[in-house]
Structure 1
Amino acid sequence: MPELPEMENYKNLLKEKIGNQVITEVQINREKSININPDLFKKTVQHQKIIDIKRRGKHLLFELQNEQTLLLHLMLGGWMFFGTESDKPDRTIQVRLSFGQNHLYFIGLRLGYLHLYNRTQTEEKLADLGPEPINSDFTLNEFLKRIGSKHGRLKTTMLDQSFIAGIGNCYSAEICYHAGIVPTKDIDDINEGARGKLYHSMQSVLQDGIKHGGYMDNPLFKGDALTGGFNDRCQVYDREGQPCNRCGATIVIEMISSRKTFYCPNCQK
């Protein structure tokens, strides 16, 4: 599932491709991927200029000239591709937004969605999300304050979008590895020094993920050499049975709250 770095990467690249561009046509192939009548959706979105693209947690917000917002959540299996009809992947397309001869294809939106809201509705939909971990106003003190009110396993807390927005299965594992803390540990057993290290690891890993285009390797457009570049930089995620790059021990996998959790049992304490 795309997480904060993947969606930030999409945001940055799409701003270059479709920022201030007019949506010339809308194609809906799966009505369940949108939230209103398809004809009304098309009427409201078509011929509108995209004035900005923002990210909130794992969501993208396409802000239109008519003050409506397309709210995207790719969920599990969702991705996007931008290009011409001849360039597009041989996959089922749920929604297509056209920009002249180029199109933005929404693929794999079986669990994900592209919903249309006004600004007030958009704010309401995102109201339960926690702070953005890479924003400058999310300080160490703010993190310590928030985690100080939490209990239970660290992994479960990091996946809680009301605690911090945008972190999922991959980056929670990578952050815990970077900090040298086992994700199965109870928060009450993590001292303030280790909590501070966790905060700095979160900043480092997420920024590195953005810099290298995230871990999901479906290219956004033909010739895209950035997207998915973090996949080879993952230290523990999806590496069970392989040696730890830090100590040589074998990476293990464990289920926590029905989620696969990867860590090094030797150097994560």
Structure 2
Amino acid sequence: MPELPEMENYRRLLSQHIINVPITGVTVNREKTINMETAEFVNALVGARIVFVERRAKHILFHLHDGRRLLLHLMLGGLLFYGTEEERPDRTTQVELAFGDKILYFMGLRLGYLHLLSVKEGEAAMGKLGPEPLDRRMTAERFAGLLKGRRGALKSLLVNQQVMAGIGNCYADEIAFEARLLPSAQVQNLTLEAVNRLYASIRKVLEEATEIGGYMEMPFITGDTVTGSYNDACKVYDREGEPCLRGGGTIVKTEQSGRKVFYCPDCQHEV
């Protein structure tokens, strides 16, 4: 599932191409992907302009010129591509937004969605999300405060969107590795030094992953050489049986609360 770095990469790329360009056509191939009748959805969007693209957690909010929002959640397997009809990938699309001769293709939205919302509805949809880990207001002290009084496994905390928004399976494991903490480490037992290490690791991993385009499997536009570069930079995620890059250990895959977990048992510890 795309996480903060993937969606932030998309936000940056979208902002370069579609801001203030009128939507000239809308195609809906799967009505379950949207939240209203197709005709109503199409009529509302044709002629509209996107004036701002915002990322919140794992979502993208397209701010329309009339104040409404298009809320996108790619869920598992969702992808975006922007280009001409000739450039389109050989993939099934659920929704297509045309901007003249260029089209924004929404693909793989078997579980994902693109909903047209009022300002109030958009705010309500984002209302339960926790703070952004890379927000400039997120300090080490504020982070420690988020953890205060919480119990349970570290990975469960990291992926809890009501505690902190945007981290999922992949980056939770990468962050735990960077912090030298086991994904199963109990949050209530972490020392202040371990909490500070964890905070620094969150920022380092998410910032680095965002800069190199996250781990998406397909470029956003023809010639895009950035999107997906983090695929080759993962240190533990999906590397079961491979040697630890810090040396000595072998990456292990287990399961925790129904989620797959990757870690090095040699260099990651409880605190």
Q: Assess same fold via TM > 0.5.
A: yes
Deviation string, structure 1 residues 49-104 (Cα, Å, up to 9, x no partner): 11000000000000111111000000001011100111111111100000011100
Are 2:118 and 1:132 equivalent residues in the alignment?
no
Give the secondary structure class of the aligned counterpart of 1:97: strand
The alpha carbon displacement at 1:217 in A equals 2.4
Give the secondary structure class of the aligned counterpart of 1:42: helix
The TM-score, its normalising length taken from structure 1, stands at: 0.99
Structure 1 segment 18-29 matched on structure 2, within 5 A: 18-29=18-29
C-alpha distance in structure 1 between counterparts of 2:84 and 2:257, whole Å: 42
- Which position in structure 1 is the counterpart of 2:268? 268
Give the secondary structure class of the aligned counterpart of 2:171: helix
Deviation string, structure 1 residues 86-128 (Cα, Å, up to 9, x no partner): 1111111100000011100000101000000011110000000
Q: Aligned pairs, how many?
A: 269
Contact 2:216/2:227 (<8 A) preserved: yes
The TM-score, its normalising length taken from structure 2, stands at: 0.98
Deviation string, structure 1 residues 195-236 (Cα, Å, up to 9, x no partner): 110001000000001100001221111111000011111100
Are 2:51 and 1:51 equivalent residues in the alignment?
yes
The alpha carbon displacement at 1:267 in A equals 0.3
Deviation string, structure 1 residues 10-56 (Cα, Å, up to 9, x no partner): 00011111112111101000000000111111111111111000000
Are 2:156 and 1:175 equivalent residues in the alignment?
no
* AA of the residue aligned to 2:96: R
* AA of the residue aligned to 2:111: L
C-alpha distance in structure 1 between counterparts of 2:241 and 2:20, whole Å: 47
- Which position in structure 1 is the counterpart of 2:102? 102
| TM-align CA RMSD | 0.7
Deviation string, structure 1 residues 150-205 (Cα, Å, up to 9, x no partner): 10111111110000000000000000000000111111221111011000100000
Structure 1 segment 45-84 matched on structure 2, within 5 A: 45-84=45-84
- Which position in structure 2 is the counterpart of 1:253? 253
Unmatched tracts of structure 1, length 5 or more: none
Q: Which has the higher mean CA deviation after the structures are superposed, 123-132 or 209-218?
A: 209-218
Give the secondary structure class of the aligned counterpart of 1:230: helix
- Which position in structure 2 is the counterpart of 1:40? 40
After TM superposition, where is structure 1 displaced by more than 2 Å over at least 4 residues in a row? none
Give the secondary structure class of the aligned counterpart of 1:217: coil
The alpha carbon displacement at 1:248 in A equals 3.0
C-alpha distance in structure 1 between counterparts of 2:229 and 2:195, whole Å: 28
* AA of the residue aligned to 2:33: S
Structure 1 segment 188-207 matched on structure 2, within 5 A: 188-207=188-207
Unmatched tracts of structure 2, length 5 or more: none
